[in-house]
Amino acid sequence: MNALHPWEEDMPPFRLYGNLWHIGGKYSPSYLFDTGDGLLLLDTGFPKGGYFMFRNMHDLGFDPRDVRWILHSHGHFDHIGMTRALVEMTGAKTYIGAPDRDYVNGKLDLTWAKELNSRYDEPFEPDVLINDGDVLNFGKLSIRCAAAPGHTPGTMAYFFDLEENGVTRHAGMHGGVGFNTMKTNFLREYGLSAECRQQFLDGVERLKDEPVEILVGNHLGNYDAEGKLRQRRENPDGPNPFVVPGEWKRFLNARAEQLRKLIAEDPA
């Protein structure tokens, strides 16, 4: 994906469940919550994706100026790229895992912007640094935070309840399951420790038994969002394809197994 060509990832918005919508791109997701007291964004995507994100908000009946809070899964360019512009536009309060503070404020060149053929030149100083076990309240929405390091030191997992037609479901996002930052060549280039690999595996063990019914993917491929949207189109009166009990644990176990394979093939 070339971050300079945002039209390549433009897609219509869609609702997962209740008050949660995806409004971002095919590669760099951004999720919108209507909290009843303002809008919350979870990740902001690439900096040049604003035109279709704003269009998606308007198509859903929301005003981008009502964004009050911006929560981040981790400090990589494809998740934080438009945050500075949104803060300047709305005055929104920003949140990120404490160890990723220097990623987003520009002190560390570890945002993966260079690897995405771009440059991170719109840094911001986060308002709130999140730590393991924190509970964040946004209007009627409460989000429990759990440290999930590995992809970055400050990657977080988020757990929250969603209600639709009187039925409440437990949802969860693991904030970063990619192994691109755990490969030996990347670790050596930036002088990073291979401990991130074991941290990721330890995190999976701590988080995999969370009773999640709705897996919210940090990237659309993590939960086959496009496949689920096809199911919805083909069977609009059927069960919600985003409600899949057990998918969370299967997904995390599969990622852990894939990392173990990587470790065997690419010892640090």
18 φ, ψ (degrees, to nearest 5): 60, -125
Low-confidence ranges of the chain (pLDDT < 50): none
Residue 163 confidence (pLDDT): 98
Its pTM surpasses 0.85: yes
Q: What is the DSSP string of the chain?
A: --TT-GGGG----EEEETTEEE-S-SSS--EEEE-SSSEEEE----GGGHHHHHHHHHHTT--GGGEEEEE-SSS-HHHHTTHHHHHHHH--EEEEEGGGHHHHTTSSS-SSTGGGT---------SEEE-TT-EEEETTEEEEEEE--SSSTT-EEEEEEEEETTEEEEEEEES----GGGSHHHHHHHT--THHHHHHHHHHHHHTTS--SEE--SSGGGGTHHHHHHHHHH-TTS--TT--TTHHHHHHHHHHHHHHHHHHHS--
Residue 64 confidence (pLDDT): 95
pLDDT digits (tens, 9 = 90+) for 54-112: 999 999 999 999 999 999 999 999 999 999 999 999 999 999 999 999 999 999 999 99
Residue 3 confidence (pLDDT): 59
pLDDT digits (tens, 9 = 90+) for 200-215: 999 999 999 999 999 9
Distance separating alpha carbons of residues 57 and 62, to the nearest angstrom: 5
Domain residue spans in the chain? Answer: 6-265
Superfamily covering domain 6-265: Ribonuclease Z/Hydroxyacylglutathione hydrolase-like (3.60.15.10)
Distance separating alpha carbons of residues 240 and 18, to the nearest angstrom: 11
Length of the chain: 268
- Residues paired with residue 158 on neighbouring β-strands, in sequence order: 145, 173
Residue 2 confidence (pLDDT): 55
Contact 33, 80 (CB under 8 A): no
- Residues paired with residue 172 on neighbouring β-strands, in sequence order: 159, 215
Matching residue, tokens 């919508």: 21
Quote the tokens at residue 230.
Answer: 């096809």
Residue 8 confidence (pLDDT): 87
